[in-house]
Structure 1
Amino acid sequence: MRLEGKVALITGAAGGIGHAVAGLFATEGAIVIAADIKLPQKPYAGDVETIMLDVTREEQWASAVAAIVRKHGRLDVLINNAGIIAYEPLDKLEMKDWQKMIAVDQTGVFLGMREAVRVMRKQQAGAIVNISSIWGSAAVPGAHSYHAAKGAVRNMSKNAAMTYAGEGIRVNSVHPGFIHTPLTDAQNPDLNRIVIDTTPMKRGGQPIEIAYGCLFLASDEASFVTGAELNIDGGYLAQ
């Protein structure tokens, strides 16, 4: 029960990594609120509340966090997981596609952190985990907007960590490598194979392997950890 009694909000929790995080946190004793723009794809491992949340909408963030505080009295953990991916190179990237990527993968993280920090500062305690990517630290051809957004999440996390370290708020980022999720499994299998083949462990990860990293960073076991980047990537970034 590593999160016993903690109130945790996880975005993008209908499937994939977010779904695994929500289920694991519930089994570890947290009061879990799983947020997404769609309903869960399957049952969670534990008792989980679900809410609808479009992370690009400022007013939805404000009302969601306010409702959680009214019901539970606090917000201890935020996992900013909601995200999309696209592969257009810079010269073929349309403005509407750039704006959509930045809105979901970067602005969504900003809005979530802002609302959570406003609550956590009053508590003088809290943990935020932002899901970045190996592409937030390294690059491959194409995927310009995704690289931009995930790189921003990496530095936004560090900035928030430094800004609020003295107020009991910890902020860290997790950088998954290739993970088998509905999102990645729907991609071109040749593209997936290239990433897996260049991963030293020669396999893709499972959502639960990311969830356990989030569990550590959200728990009191990580009480001296802030501004860190946790790579869970089968060794990819060590090359």
Structure 2
Amino acid sequence: MTRPLLTDRTAVITGAAQGIGYAIAELFVAEGARVVIGDLDAGLAAVAAEKLGGPGVAIGVGCDVSKSADVDGMLAAAVDTFGTLDVVVNNAGITRDATMRTMTEDQFDQVIAVHLKGTWNGVRKAAAIMREAKSGAIVNLSSISGKVGMAGQTNYSAAKAGIVGMTKAAAKEMAHHGVRVNAIQPGLIRTAMTEAMPQKVWEEKVAGIPMQRVGDPSEIASVALFLASDLSSYMTGTVLEVTGGRFM
């Protein structure tokens, strides 16, 4: 019998009380990890942690990733509770879609703060801890929107493209410290956020996917597991598209 891929490792996943983040946390626990569920809603984070096994397996921590002190507290909780910090998945995100003409400065700033600054906080804070251990894996969630740009998402596309550049720069800085930094660019994945879009828009997007179907959060989780585990031990600065072939 093969050993679970994340046995005795501690993983922090942001925005993990639901959706893609929760799917990642669920798979990581199944593969032997102890997890910290970081989420803006501390109550939802606690509920998610309890569903995953509770104390000894998972804890929930309230965290606004755009605030450096919150990220410090979340990572400290991981080390204090489980003893190590081995994996960080920067998944937290929001959307504030609007055309450039109608988008407010606040809508732009909110998305940049959560996605771009939030990921930067997660990467730099995790890297500072991991470099001491000379090992660790950081996985950043970008988006296909950061590759092609989406109408009505100048804020989101800019942030997600920025995450790609950040991932590559951080990977170069941290490689000799034994810390790997990689990214995932999901396409259309079935979550509460995507299912809220108008049916016509949904159908148009599905029509542009060669595999002719929407992805499931578990299909992002499996790629996150690959990047978090030793299966990808010789990969850093890599961006993996999980899109069903859309925009290849």
- In structure 1, the gaps of 5 or more residues are none
Q: Give the Cα separation in 2 of the matches to 1:201 and 1:177.
A: 12
Q: Give the Cα separation in 2 of the matches to 1:191 and 1:81.
A: 24
- After TM superposition, list the pairs within 5 Å mapping 1:48-127 onto structure 2: 48-127=58-137
Q: What amino acid is aligned across from residue 13 of structure 1 in structure 2?
A: A
Shift of 1:44: 4.2
Q: Give the Cα separation in 2 of the matches to 1:161 and 1:208.
A: 26
Q: What amino acid is aligned across from residue 199 of structure 2 in structure 1?
A: P
RMSD: 1.4
TM-score by length of 2: 0.92
Q: Deviations 1:208-234 (Å, cap 9, x if unpaired)?
A: 000000000000111001000111000
Are residues 1:21 and 2:24 paired?
yes
Tell me the SS of whatever aligns to 1:137: helix
Q: Give the Cα separation in 2 of the matches to 1:106 and 1:8.
A: 20
- After TM superposition, list the pairs within 5 Å mapping 1:1-239 onto structure 2: 1-38=4-41, 39-40=44-45, 44=51, 47-238=57-248
Q: How many residues align?
A: 238
Q: Give the Cα separation in 1 of the matches to 2:17 and 2:29.
A: 15
1:113, 1:128 within 8 Å by CA — same for their partners in 2?
yes
| Percent sequence identity over aligned pairs | 39
Q: What amino acid is aligned across from residue 226 of structure 1 in structure 2?
A: T
Q: Deviations 1:100-139 (Å, cap 9, x if unpaired)?
A: 0101111100011111011001111100000000011112
TM-score by length of 1: 0.95
Tell me the SS of whatever aligns to 1:202: coil
Q: Give the Cα separation in 2 of the matches to 1:87 and 1:71.
A: 38
Q: Give the Cα separation in 2 of the matches to 1:44 and 1:146.
A: 31
2:96, 2:108 within 8 Å by CA — same for their partners in 1?
no
Shift of 1:64: 1.6
